[in-house]
Structure 1
Amino acid sequence: MPPPDGPRDAWVTLPDEGPDPTALPEVRPRDDRGRAEGPGEAALEQGELLAGQYQVVRRLGRGGMGDVYLALDRKVDDREVAVKTLRPEQLAPRLGSLEDERQAFADLHHEGIIPVFNYGRHARVGPFLVLPYVDGLNLDEIRALARHDPDRFGGARFHEFVLAYGLRVLSALDHLHARPGPRKVYGDLKPQNVMHDGVTTKVIDVGSIREEGAPGLTTEGFRAPNVPLAPPALAGASAPHDDLFSLGETLRTLSGLGIGPHSLAELGALDRMHDGDPVTAQAAALTTTPAPEGLGLVSLARALRRATRPEPAERYADADEMADQLRGVFRELRSLRTGQETFEPSPLFMQSPYALDGALGVAPVLPRWATPAGGVPPAPLHEPPSAADVAARLPVPRPDPHDAHHDGLSRLADADPAALLQHTGDWRDSPEVRLLRCRLRLRVAVRAEHAEGERPDLAPATEELRGAVDGIGRELSRHDWRIDWHRGLLDLANDDVASARDYFDQVYGAIPGEYAPKLALGHCAERLGHWHEALTFYEAVRLRNPSLGSAAFGAARARLALGGATPDTYAIEALDAVPQHSRHRTVARTATVRIAVEYATTADGLRTALTRLARLFNEHGLTDEQARVRMKAEVWEAAQRLVADGKVGAEALTRLSEAAARRDQDARDAGGRLEFPDEEVKLRRQLSQFYRALARQAARSDSPHADAVAERLLDRAYLVRPLGLWHRRDRSRPPLPRSWRTGRRPAVDR
């Protein structure tokens, strides 16, 4: 319990863990400090009756708009009410009569705004408002109590509650800002004007509400820098984006991030990604409760920074946009803290169907076996996909609902880009159509690069982006994250990763609750060798939405690249978390087999690989027979290597065969059975058979190097097969490609 001169005490009951971003603790004051007599001389005396109905009990306090008194409503069961006197000079001059004023307050019916019961005038104190009496804690008192005893608010979970306060207040602000007719603003938002009473929150001090652009009270430290202080006729004149600034600064103060809005830029910089960053460590020591984990601190700082930018055009466009981003950051903070999924479809991006798995999520390609002994080894498992492939396959922004072609754009399938260009060729230009064509022309260029082996020709895509900028307008496009997103894609496709990173960084600053820019920044970090930064981004996305295979693969690659004691364990855990219902589950389970094989150094490690291989065939959807042979060849290779190195003996090999035989009994089909051998001779013979099967695959492929690959595979088959002393006449020789039988260097046998 706080000391008598400490923060006001309260009972705090935490809500159940859940994905609701507006859930808050129940807070009940333990003391009557909120009822105490306010300092200074009261203008109204105890027992005085106002309007023949409201009997004054005591003065509670003095604010910028006037004094507040506790009173009893003698006509309604002596209910407690708060009487707020309004100083005439502070009344907003937006309405011409007291009756208009009363009607204006009566129309402000919202659960997050304290209602006005009545309105009157007293001969000595002038106009007054009658409101419900709320004996809760304001956000300044909540902050003090959380700093004194963080555990009452769940430690780091408190920052999620900060976002919940923000979402509730944004709902109230949207009610003011989106009203028909002249828009209203609150004008004086600050921690003392938001009350937490039980399970509800209320914006109080409604006397500061006024029409947009009308003068009124503001508070230093929470006032946007563009709000004028003079002349008197304009002092405090505010717009909706100024309310968002005040809310952002209120939430920053509540969370304890830095010492002012300028601190948020430093806390949200990508430089904070480095492990042991001193700026982050210093900021974490000052937060109200323990700081959010992982990327959470950066995302929270960025969400509040956009609200508190000095230039109004750089702030959120409206309360709804800010609410979308706060919800996204909430989901990120919760998933990082609990390790639990907190998924909700993105309002700004469509989910990509691509796993961006590089070479990790597929069976080994045939050229893997074409490298001669002592030659260049194959690429490591953590080799990321090419920058151009990533640029063509990152999530796609949802079309602007106000665009003339919104309905048509929303119905387009992820089809062949050339076909889509033809389909939309006669559509009238709009910014969204231009952005679509930019992406389609980028994909066409990337395909041509794969086919011809040259750098992609991005000039047509760049020209489409210029058209989109012209359609939006040069000035407006400076603040449109979609333009930066497409510039980042073009730079990434051109392999200018550092420049692409800068553009995606701008997008992350504009929409910090979205996962797509974090995926893009994770890929940029991979290409630049910033593996810890890559892991930080990928983990934030993966934990929030485990179904997103691209984040799981990115996290796995980063873990493997960083090394350490057991990088394979962490990588496999990330891929195992991709759920069974995900479209990426087969490639994810394929990757776990390949990682298990790569890191197998004992019989136990080999057993793990065999178990995962059997499940891949029978439970996780790998039904392609050619891929199955390649996967078995990789596992049998590892087994043969361990046997040759003396790490798996004859007894261990027998036990592995017996365990595989038990699993084979549950196989769904013959192709799903492993039939793992129990002797080294059988192991080598089967591996030789796999190599010959792969040689046939290579000979029938379209690759210009098919013959060379096939010959290398046959060499491997002959090298690994056990020596025999006689021919087995009852065993037929596997057929070779027709060209080999005729002795000509052929065209490929199809």
Structure 2
Amino acid sequence: MTAPVGPPHAHVAQSQQVVPANAVASPPPAPYRAPAAPLPQPITGPVTRSTTSSTRQRGGLSDMPPVPPRDPAEAVMATPQVPEHKRFCSSCGKPVGRPQAGRAGRVEGFCPYCRARYWFTPALSPGDLLSDRYEVLGAIAHGGLGWIYLANDRNFADDLTQRWVVIKGLINTSDEDAIEAAINERRFLVGIDHPNVVDIHDFVTAADPRSGQLQSYIVMEYIAGKSLRDIRDATDDEGERKPLPLEQVLTYTAELLPAFSYLHDRGLLFCDFKPDNVIHVETWLKLIDLGAVRHVEDMESAIYGTPGYSVPNDEILSVGPSVTSDLYTIGRSMAVLALDFKGFTTTYRDHLPPASEAPQFAEYGSFHRLLLRATHIEPRSRFQDADDMRTQVRGVLHEVQSVQRGEPRSEPSTLFSGEQSVFGEPDVEYDVHKIGDPFEVAHALPTPMVDLADPMAAFLATQQATDVNGILQELNSAPQQSPEVQLRRVRTLVNAGELHQAAAVLDQFAQREGNTWQVTWLRGIISLLAADFATAAAHFDAVYSHLPGELSPRLALAACAELAGRADLALPHYTRIWACDHRFVSAAYGRARLLDLEGNSTDAITTLHQVPKTSAQYGIAQTAAIQTALHSRTAPPSLLDLHHMAGRLDELKLEPRRRHLVSTRILHLALDTVQRTGPAAEPPVFGARPEERELRLALERAYRDLAHACTRREDQVYYFDLANRHRPRTML
């Protein structure tokens, strides 16, 4: 017995035809026909906008296990020597001090090529005193500028405490003027004050006890923790070195980027970032080794970098260090920490390994795109700002946390609004669950938010007109035709269906302002309205690559794929979006819809049940879950299931007409079940015992209640007829 879905005269919602992958879609009706949209170009122009502050609250890494402070004495090297494979002449750059004929390499001597003197042991020894203040405890590392020492500041020492400091060489020369100039150039480091950057205490000079030349030193705060390189290189219980968990790497990066924002805001570049230069102690991260920090406008001093982390040499020679080259080193460091990145200084020195060698890329495509943008060969295609990069890093981090912890962790976007409406909403009355047409989808997707830094942001917030002509007149009268005013004009034309004019205005904007991600997004919307799903998807995919931490481009990609008949591409996007953020109810409906089409009604119902009670869609989602269960092909509901469905329907407090309509469907299936399997003692369905007469009486009542809830005469007659048809037969 099949339950009627609605009165015969009513207009049944038309479902969107699914276009096969190899078919040509029919042109849409005017006015939604758009010109052929160009394929996405590299996104340039203004960088991504964010309201995220570059400062952070004190408290450190709350999500990371603390690293206990290290005893300073343990940091001192027992036999400090430069490793033989790293020994080069400081004058001619050729290898020296290498092993020969089975004998260990010399740690001091003369270069056989240029006769320059070399030492590969520390110049300072334990007990040496610098500036009558800093007592050397020993060497703790060897860096690009020489040996690094641990010392005790005797001016702050007492019987109970000691103030440990790190001393690092700056320049080795006999020219006192050069030493003074070098120190003066580095004085700006003392003014750096950020919780994630090591403190600079002092600058001192002393004669090298071996050569007699004056040596200048920088005195820094000692951080008694472990470097990220040490943490990455630590072995597990089986003696293996494994990449760090992706969540940990992203948390580290999000914690460090405010320090880079702080430096960049002051016109400083770090230049030589790598995992060695970050210390994790307790719940804090500290940038150390500021020896390579330089002013942005500095075009003369030496440039330091580390192969495998720094940008290609061609860029250094042609462009020089920049904010984007700093962020490039962060991207490379993320890859080294998170991947089993063999050959990062050789084979993959200037690019990332393929996805086949990095399972993290397959699991989290957003992380792959994050690294691709951060380490792009073209500086203009990278992140242009540390705060912008942090916004995307946090978005990817929240995705990883959501998947691994099984609960949504995403925060509201600072770049996109929420959904304007919900597309693909189930039609409860007619029991139809389709995505809808391109118009409905395009006007339901989130929209880019107004940049609050735009000079006309306040003007746009006070617009009063609601009709198209009124809005356009107000925009034309704006005191300044700022980027946001121009983008609002394009969106207004799109909403009015004037797609040709909108595309022309958008092209003019792109010529003036560049191919920003907002331009690419709007081109995707225009292509979607034209039912050119492939082109629309290409534009949205470009926005996703530019903003890998945002969910809105992925929702648009999922919709385009489903509209094009590629459920296999749409379902993973819907699934990941819903796992991250339960505010995207369109993703829940999309996931449930496609799972149900696959025959996986159990997971579809689970997804619908996850729509929050605080959502305006809660009642619709719960009702859709009931109706999905009613026609499940994999797990047909039992009488007990129908009993629980009836209880849930009563709890939803739906408007009477919808409630009675769904109750008739539940009773129809209960009646079919009893007719097929025979009567039972329990459980009741809407108070009716599971036997044919009782269920027919309940069904008759439900149809009569439904007829009374209708306002149209023909609807009432239709449902009264159904009530009479299903009431129990009587013998007169």
State the Cα distance separating 1:549 from its structure 2 match.
1.5
Task: Return closer, same or farther for 1:353/1:487 CA change in 2, 3 Å cut-off.
Answer: closer
**Aligned match for 1:224, one of 304, 311, 314:** 311
> 3-state SS of the aligned residue for 1:85?
strand
CA drift at 1:202: 1.4
Q: Which residue of 2 aligns with 1:321?
A: 388
Residue equivalent to 1:350: 417
Aligned to 2:577: 541
SS of 1:393's equivalent in the other structure is coil
Matched to 2:233, the amino acid is: A
Unaligned runs of 5+ in 1: 1-18, 268-278, 285-290, 369-378, 446-456, 662-675, 701-709, 727-750
Residue equivalent to 1:287:
none
Q: Aligned ranges for residues 483-498 of structure 1 at < 5 Å?
A: 483-498=519-534
Separation of aligned partners in 2, 1:251 and 1:488 = 31
Partners of 2:136 and 2:353 lie apart in 1 by 48
Q: Which moved more, 1:532-541 or 1:159-168?
A: 532-541
User: How far, CA to CA, are the matches of 2:166 and 2:594 in structure 1?
Assistant: 58
Secondary structure of 1:656's match?
coil
Matches within 5 A, 1:394-433: 394-410=445-461, 420=471, 424=475, 426-427=477-478, 429-433=481-485
Provide, for residues 372-391 of structure 1, a one-character-per-residue CA deviation record: whole Å limited to 9, x for no partner.
xxxxxxx5x3x322222111
- Kept in 2, the 8 Å contact 1:688–1:720? The answer is no
- Residue by residue over 1:473-501, the C-alpha shift from the partner in whole angstroms, topping out at 9 and shown as x without a partner, is xxx21xx2111111111111111112211
Answering whether residue 490 of structure 2 is matched by residue 438 of structure 1, we say yes
Q: CA deviation at 1:253?
A: 0.5
Q: What is the number of equivalent residue pairs in this alignment?
A: 611
Q: Which amino acid aligns with 2:229?
A: D
Find the counterpart in structure 1 of residue 587 from structure 2: 551
Residues 305-352 of structure 1 show CA distances to partners (whole Å, capped at 9, x for unaligned) of 211101010011200100111111111110110012313221101112
Q: In 2, are the aligned partners of 1:188 and 1:208 still within 8 Å (CA)? A: yes
Could you say if the C-alpha distance between residues 568 and 444 of structure 1 is closer, same or farther in structure 2, counting changes exceeding 3 Å?
same
Matched residue, 2:249: 162
Going from structure 1 to structure 2, the CA distance change for 1:627 and 1:439 (only over 3 Å counts) comes to farther
- Displacement of 1:107 in angstroms is 0.8
Q: Distance in 1 between matches of 2:616 and 2:446?
A: 15
Partners of 1:261 and 1:558 lie apart in 2 by: 42
CA distance in 1, matches of 2:713, 2:551: 40
Q: What runs of 5+ residues in structure 2 fail to find an aligned partner? A: 1-58, 82-119, 209-213
1:603 corresponds to 2:644: no
Deviations 1:17-57 (A, max 9, x none): xx998743211377866322321322123322111111222
Residue 687 of structure 1: how far off its partner (Å): 5.8
Q: How does 1:107-506 map to 2 (within 5 A)?
A: 107-124=191-208, 125-145=214-234, 148=236, 158-179=245-266, 183-214=267-298, 215-225=302-312, 228=315, 237-256=320-339, 260=348, 264=352, 266-267=354-355, 279=356, 282-284=357-359, 291=360, 297-358=364-425, 360=426, 362-365=427-430, 381=433, 383-410=434-461, 420=471, 424=475, 426-427=477-478, 429-445=481-497, 458-472=499-513, 476-477=514-515, 480-506=516-542
Residue type at the aligned position of 1:25? P
Cα offsets for 1:268-299 (capped at 9, x unmatched): xxxxxxxxxxx3xx422xxxxxx49xx86211
What is aligned with 1:658? 687
Using the TM superposition, give the Cα deviation of residue 355 of structure 1 relative to its aligned residue in structure 2, in angstroms. Answer: 2.4
Looking at structure 2, the residues matched to 486 and 346 of structure 1 have their Cα atoms a distance apart, in angstroms, of 18
Name the CA shift for 1:227/1:213 in 2 (closer, same or farther; >3 Å). Answer: farther
Q: What amino acid maps onto 2:336 in structure 1?
A: T
SS of the aligned residue for 2:245 comes to: helix
User: Any idea what the Cα deviations from partners look like across 1:543-599, whole Å, max 9, x if unmatched?
Assistant: 322233122212212321232xxx232222222222222233222222222222222
Report deviation, 1:240: 1.0
Deviation at 1:102, TM superposition (A): 5.0
Residue 87 of structure 1 and its aligned partner are, at CA, apart by: 2.9
Which structure shows the higher helix fraction?
Answer: 1
Q: Which residue of 1 aligns with 2:545?
A: 509
For residues 351-396 of structure 1, what are the alpha-carbon distances to aligned partners after superposition, in whole Å with 9 as ceiling and x for unaligned? 12422233x1x4224xx7xxxxxxxxxx5x3x32222211111011
Shift of 1:688: 5.1
Q: Quick one: which amino acid aligns to residue 590 of structure 2? A: G
* Contact in 2 for aligned 1:485/1:504 (Cα 8 Å): yes
Structure 1 contact 695–711 (Cα < 8 Å) conserved = no
Give the aligned partner of residue 579 of structure 1.
612
CA distance in 2, matches of 1:126, 1:35: 21
CA distance in 1, matches of 2:668, 2:60: 50
Q: Shift in Å at residue 630 of structure 1?
A: 3.0
Whole-Å separation in 1 of the counterparts to 2:230 and 2:456: 50
Cα distance in 1 between the residues matched to 2:681 and 2:465: 49
Q: Give yes or no for contact 2:693–2:728 (8 Å, CA) kept in 1.
A: no
1:24 alignment counterpart: 64
Instruction: Work out the CA distance in 2 between the residues paired with 1:266 and 1:49.
Output: 52
How much has 1:72 moved relative to structure 2? 2.0
In the TM superposition, residue 640 of structure 1 has moved relative to its aligned partner by: 3.9
Secondary structure of the residue aligned to 1:397 is coil
- The CA deviation string for residues 436-464 of structure 1, in whole angstroms up to 9 with x for no partner, is 3333333333xxxxxxxxxxx63233233
CA distance in 1, matches of 2:446, 2:178: 47
| In 2, Cα distance between equivalents of 1:229 and 1:348 | 32
* Structure 1 Cα separation of the partners of residues 238 and 396 of structure 2: 21
What is the one-letter code of the residue matched to 1:550? Answer: S
SS at match of 2:443: helix
Q: Is the 8 A contact 2:60 2:284 kept in 1?
A: no
1:524 aligned onto 2:540: no
Asked whether the 8 Å contact 2:310–2:329 carries over to 1, the reply is yes
Q: Structure 1 pair 148/213, CA: closer, same or farther in 2 (3 Å)?
A: farther
Change (3 A) 1:252 1:392: same
Structure 1 residue 677: Cα displacement: 9.4
Alpha-carbon deviation of 1:409? 3.1
8 Å Cα contact 1:117/1:131 also seen in 2: yes
Distance 1:206 1:690, change over 3 A: same
Written as runs of structure 1 = structure 2, the 5 A alignment for 1:708-719 is none
Question: In structure 1, what is the Cα distance between the partners aligned to 2:592 and 2:204?
Answer: 67
Secondary structure of 1:131's counterpart equals strand
Offset at residue 713 of structure 1 (A): 7.0
Return the alpha-carbon distance in structure 2 between the equivalents of residues 150 and 265 of structure 1.
Answer: 26
Distance in 2 separating the partners of 1:165 and 1:308: 18
In 2, Cα distance between equivalents of 1:419 and 1:715: 51
**Per-residue deviation, 1:654:** 7.0
Identify the residue that residue 29 of structure 2 maps to in structure 1.
none
Pick closer, same or farther for the CA change 1:522–1:238 going to 2, 3 Å.
Answer: same
Indicate if the aligned counterparts of 1:525 and 1:533 stay in contact, CA closer than 8 A.
yes
Per-residue CA deviations over 1:101-158 (Å, capped at 9, x if unaligned) read 353111111111111111011122511011122332211111122x6369999x9982
- In 2, distance between residues paired with 1:134 and 1:654? 68
Call closer, same or farther: CA 1:213–1:261 in 2, change over 3 Å: farther
Taking a change above 3 Å as real, the CA distance of residues 696 and 75 of structure 1, as seen in their structure-2 partners, is closer
Identity of aligned residues (%): 28
Q: CA deviation at 1:413?
A: 9.4
- Cα separation, partners in 2 of 1:654 and 1:257, compared to 1, 3 Å: closer
Residue 53 of structure 1: aligned partner: 133
TM-score when scaled to structure 1? 0.73
| Contact residue 405 and residue 433 of structure 1 kept, 8 A | yes
